[in-house]
A = this chain, B = another copy of it.
């Protein structure tokens, strides 16, 4: 059967979609999510069927819809066929991908083989699986947890779904913090220390999803973070390190697609989490990796039992993937730095690297612990001597110099922390009573900074004057909110008043 092409101005970003009207779909015995092979001369592509409803009842078709005899092509199908609207394609039935059987097996609680996992990930990468089909995979591995072998194969399959960066070095270092803690900008301190010690650290980071700033958002205050792969490699060659946004790199792209269908229900199966993190590390050929699991009230992981379970799995997985992995469990019960929001966090990082008294003690101590751990893991430092080696690099000013070197190589320039602008409108939140600060809620602090405008407004956010354990008097400033919009500022204060987030007892 031949149908007339109508190119539609829609892209899915991945999945190859062809749209038929109900009547043609019935005649061809097709249902939504069935596959068809489209052919014109030598060009061909397998597309997933979408069916437009005949919105005005039987027999009548809305002017703007796909009519009988037409086939609507989304952008991805247009790219494959390169046909103008009005040309004809021939339609053949096509088998559904084999990987759907494997997804069904997982839903039924079966263990997947290496080949099955590779097939699923390969089909996700090629755009052969619809969102609905991917979400069954996520649901299956959410309820029937993947075992360590499956997670290892999933990681390898995800790595092979995209580019893999190679460096001519025996040791490649990387680090990752499980999210959920505000102002946790350790990468910007740890990476320069390690690079100054001569280690290679091709660090890719994400942008914020639910927090007020991701590492990529914060680095962007100082320099561009969207680099091409070759530019990234040249930065690493020049400076031993980089601090770039991973999203532009096409590293383990199947992972990004899976994360998209996890988002609607905020589902994050542990197996997917493990594979997602280590696939990104393997994609930059990391050999030595430090994983930070922040634990505590208000963190993503609340109790030590869960944290130790996850630690254990990371270590097992590291062995299977032939990576040296060190896992540390840290206090995640409050924000790390003082500033929350891209510019506010960038200031903290610079002050800390400059050994200024305005630097953040928590950020400094945590970064030294992490850098020290990696110096020992890579045998740059003797056991027990990592932290002091990291401290001497930091105190010598070499780490700060290294950061500026990286910033310049990525196309930015040195900025004085005092000169980094903050949003003009501000509001001081004061202690409602005297006492000791018992809790500062990460989620709520992030929320207030986001409402103020972070991360899209770099200059928005908030600045904490105290951390847990501090003694404050009634009426003393607890934090200042910065925003360019008085409406946003008002709303942020309103949320603070309703939900609080700092306990003083």
Contacts and interface: CB of A to CB of B under 8 A. Distances in A.
Given A104-B266, A456-B29, A11 B52 contact: yes
A140 interface: yes
Contact of A104 (B51, B53, B131, B267): B267
Contact of A19 (B10, B66, B100): B10
Contact of A143 (B7, B58, B144, B263): B144
Contact of A107 (B7, B12, B100, B142): B142
A483 interface: no
A323 interface: no
A265 interface: yes
Contact of A8 (B9, B27, B51, B104): B9
Interface string A260-276: 11011111000000000
A65 interface: yes
B265 A100 contact: yes
Interface string A98-128: 0010011001010000000000000000000
A167 interface: no
Interface in A405-419: none
A267 B29 contact: no
Given A133-B265, A260-B32, A64 B456 contact: no
Interface in A1-60: 7-13, 19, 26-27, 29, 31-33, 51-53, 55, 58
A451 to B, nearest CB: 11
Complex A-B, nearest 4 residue pairs according to Cβ-Cβ distance, in ascending order: A139-B139, A13-B53, A9-B64, A33-B264
18 contacts: A8-B9, A9-B64, A11-B53, A11-B65, A26-B456, A31-B209, A100-B264, A103-B265, A104-B267, A107-B143, A107-B267, A130-B131, A132-B264, A135-B136, A136-B265, A136-B267, A139-B139, A139-B143
